[in-house]
Amino acid sequence: MAKLRKYRQQPPPAPEVKEQAPAYPSVRKTAVPALANFTYKKFRKIADKMPLTQSEWAGILHLSERTLQRYAQQNSSFEGIYTDRILQLQELFNLGLGTFTDAATFYQWLKKEKQIMGQVWGFEALSTSRGIQELSDQLIRIQHGVYA
């Protein structure tokens, strides 16, 4: 009788799934603006996009109106903390103008108290970073049709 040969059985290769990679939209990367040398002139360009009064801007930035006027007279540079808040507001305004038909409608939305995730937010929310973020998040929800 012939000798039986023992063959090593190789395990079958693991099945591979071959799919196309999803095409995600490219994310536009914006440069982080320098906080130094942010003059009143640059602030004015941003402020002119929204119908906020000087008094409202002063309240949002936690400055007195007189200090804001001094910045205007001397075209002084804002301190970093104020520049950061102004840039946050600029992002919020751009998002708001993209969501609503015009600046006046967006301004009315800002002035009206709204319930966001179980909390009531009003115009005063613009004076805190968290409030600005909550309003931005809500604008994104509105754009995507998710009302929470």
Amino acid at 78: F
In a domain, 135, yes or no: yes
Summary mean pLDDT of the chain: 85
In a domain, 19, yes or no: no
Where do we find the tokens 């007195």?
Answer: 64
Neighbouring CB atoms inside 10 A of 95's CB total: 19
In a domain, 129, yes or no: yes
pLDDT tens readout for residues 16-27? 877 776 666 655
Where do we find the tokens 């937010």?
Answer: 121
According to the model, what pLDDT value does residue 28 have? 58
pLDDT tens readout for residues 127-142? 999 999 999 999 998 8
20: left (phi over 0), alpha (psi -120 to 50) or beta: beta
Give the 3-state secondary structure of 42-87: HHHHHHCCCCCCHHHHHHHHCCCHHHHHHHHHHCCECCHHHHHHHH
In a domain, 148, yes or no: no
Q: In the predicted model, what is the mean pLDDT of residues 102-124?
A: 86
Q: Cα–Cα distance between 40 and 35 in angstroms, integer?
A: 13
Q: Cα–Cα distance between 125 and 71 in angstroms, integer?
A: 24
In a domain, 50, yes or no: yes
The H-or-E segment that residue 119 falls in is: strand 119-121
pTM of the model: 0.72
According to the model, what pLDDT value does residue 87 have? 93
According to the model, what pLDDT value does residue 95 have? 93
In a domain, 77, yes or no: yes
Work out how many domains the chain is built from and give that number. 1
Q: Which of 1-15, 39-53, 65-79, 89-103 has the lowest mean pLDDT?
A: 1-15
Q: Quick check: 148 pLDDT over 60?
A: no
Full domain range(s) for residue 107: 40-143
Structure tokens at 123: 């115009």
Structure tokens at 30: 């914006």
In a domain, 69, yes or no: yes
In a domain, 130, yes or no: yes
